[in-house]
Chain A
Amino acid sequence: MDGDDHLLADRTPGVEEHESTASVLSYTVGLGLAIAATIASFVVSQTNLLWPPGIPTGLIVLALAQIGVHLVFFLHLGSGPDHTNNILALAFGVLIVFLVIAGSIWIVANLNENMMPMSTH
C-alpha cells in the first residue's frame, strides 16, 4: 500500500484530478470567476452602481463569493468523503476568525461609545 497505489483514491485540497483536461479546465474556470469577482468589486467600489450605503455589504458579499471560488477551484475542497476532516477544520477556523474580528469590532465600538469626552488642549 504505497506509492502509486493510492493515486486514484487521493482527493484532498490541492490534489488534482488525474485526467488533465478536467483539471486545466477547472483552473481556467476558477481563474475566470476570480477575475470576474475582482473586477466586480472594483467597479462596485468606484461607481454608484449599488446604493451607496450598501456598498460595504456588496463588497463583503463579493469577497466571500471569491473566497468560495478559490476554495473550490484552486484548493479543490469538495464534498467527497476524503474532505470531511478538511471541511470540519475549515468550519472551526471560520468560527474563530468570525469571533475574533466581529468580537473586536463590537467591543471597541462599545468602548468608544462609553468613553468620556476628551478635552481638547
Chain B
Amino acid sequence: MSTAAFEAAPNRLAPESDGGPAPTRIVVAYGFWIFILSDIVMFSALFAAYAVLSNNTAGGPSGAELFNLRNVFLMTMCLLFSSYTAGLGALSAEQRKPERFLVFAAVTFVLGAAFLFLEMSEFAGMISKGAGPWRSAFLSAFFTLVGMHGAHVTGGLVWLAYMMAQVAAKGLRPAVLRRLLCFSLFWHALDIVWIGVMTLVYLMGAQ
C-alpha cells in the first residue's frame, strides 16, 4: 500500500532524509502515541501490584469464587465491537461523511456505556457480598487495576461525546480530524489493556 502511495504521488514525497518536517498529523499521532505508552507503563505498575498480591486473600473470597466469566465475556465483546464501530467511524470521518460518523460514534458510545454498566454491576455485586476493596490485598489490587481501566473508559466516553459535539458544530475540518485520530488511538489502546486484564485477572484468577 505504501509503495502504491509513493507511485501515485511521486512529487509529494521526498526521500526520508530530506523530506523536511513531518506533516502535522504524523507529529500529533506520534506525540499521542508516546502519551498512550506512558499510560500503559502506569498500568504495568498496577498489573505488577496485582500479580504480586493476587494470592493474599486474607481469608476472604478468592477470584475463583467471585468472578463470573459469562459477564467478563460479554464485557469483552462490548469493547471489541465498540473498537470496530470506532474504526468504521474514523473511516467515515476520513471520507468526510459526518452523518455516518455520528451514527458509528453513537453505537460506539452505547457499547462503551454497556461495558461500564456491566463492570459497575459486577463491582456492586462484589461489594454487597462484603468483598469490597478493603477486604484483602487481593481485592484492593483488583479494584485499583480494573477500576483504573473503567475510569479510562469513562474518560473515553466523555471525550467521545465531546468529539461528536465538535463534529456536529464545526464539521470535519483538519483540527477536528486530528483530535478524532487521537481519540481512536486512545480507544483502541484501552482494548489492549483490557486483553491484559481479561487474561491475567479473570481467566487466570478463575482457574
Contacts and interface: CB of A to CB of B under 8 A. Distances in A.
B30 A38 contact: no
Interface of B: 1-2, 5, 8-9, 12-13, 16, 20, 22-26, 29-30, 33-34, 37-38, 40-41, 44-45, 47-49, 51-52, 69, 73, 76-77, 80-81, 83-84, 87-88, 90-91, 94-95, 174, 181-182, 184-185, 188-189, 191-192, 195-196, 198-200, 203-204, 206-207
B44 A24 contact: no
A14 B30 CA distance: 10
Interface residues of A, number: 61
A56 B97 CA distance: 45
Given A31-B81, A89-B34, A93-B40, A14 B199 contact: no
Contacts, number: 163
B80 A15 contact: no
A18 interface: yes
By secondary structure, the B interface counts as helix
Given A81-B16, A101-B44, A38 B80 contact: yes
Contacts of A101: 44, 47-48, 51
B91 A23 contact: yes
Interface string A30-42: 1100110010011
By secondary structure, the A interface counts as helix
B51 A42 contact: no
B174 A86 contact: no
Contact of B192 (A62, A67, A92): A67
A27 B199 contact: no
Contact of B91 (A10, A24, A78, A80): A24
B25 A31 contact: no
Nearest to A44: B203
